Every structure is written in C-alpha cells, then in structure tokens.
Amino acid sequence: MATEQTFSDVLKMKEEDITDDFLKRFAEVEDRVRLICTLKPACKGRGRYPLLYQYYLWYFCGIRWYIPWDRFKSMPSPETITRAYRKLKEKGIIVQTQKTSDSRAEEEEKYRFGMPKA
C-alpha cells in the first residue's frame, strides 16, 4: 500500500514524470485509483467511472490518446464487451479455433487427473 507521503509527492509530479519506479510504487489497482481520484477530483462520484477509467489507461497503461468526454461516457464498458463476447460463445456464434479447443482440453485433463509426477 502506498503511503500518504507518496501521495503528496505525486501531487507535484508532471505527466512526463511517470516512470517505471513510479509504476512500481503504485503497483496495486486500489492505490492507483486512489491516486487518480486525488490528482483528478472530477473522477469521483457516480457516473464518472468512464473518466476514471480513461485516466487509469493514461497514467498506468501508457495509452496516450484522448477521447472527448461526451463520446467516452457513451462507450460501453470493457465488462459489457466481454459479457457480450461470452454470450456469443455460449450461443455458438463465436467458435474457438481447434488449436484453442485442443489446448483447453489438455489443460482440463491435467486439472482433472493432476499433474504427472516427474
């Protein structure tokens, strides 16, 4: 968990100061979200999750593109997209490749019967 001193130091940072050391100090998602909410108070509050997400991508994922707020808040969340994908798979509309299918079957066998002893 990042310390209070660490948070106050970050308030003085510029975006170009985001280094590997910075990312290591804020390794936990909870610390990162807390930091963003400290730096960008506009992210707090119901209905502001897309803005929080956009800042998370900016600071911690290196995604340096800007999407206007009006467009970003109307975009589906990553959870919505993955949920739709899972539903399409369940319905058989999206079919996994044979390679993926074989790999999964192999992993299921290992799990079911335990790993072979070396």
Contact assessment for residue 84 and residue 77, using Cβ atoms and an 8 Å cutoff: no
The mean pLDDT of 78-102, rounded to a whole number, is 81
- Residue 36 falls inside a structural domain: yes
12 plus 65 within the same structural domain: yes
How many separate domains does the chain show? 2
Please state, rounded to an integer, the average pLDDT across all residues of the chain.
75
Please, which residues have CB within 8 angstroms of residue 101's CB and are 6 or more apart in sequence?
Answer: none
**What is the distance between the terminal CA atoms of the chain, rounded to a whole angstrom?**
39
Question: Do residues 84 and 39 both lie within one domain?
Answer: no
Residue 41 and residue 92 in one domain:
no
Question: What are the pLDDT digits (tens) for 24-58?
Answer: 777 788 888 888 888 888 888 766 777 888 888 88
Rounded mean pLDDT of 81-90? 83
State if pTM tops 0.85.
no
Q: Could you tell me if residue 118 is inside a domain?
A: no
Q: Count Cα atoms within 13 angstroms, Cβ side, for 84.
A: 6
In a domain, 43, yes or no: yes
Please give the residue range of the domain that contains residue 39: 4-72
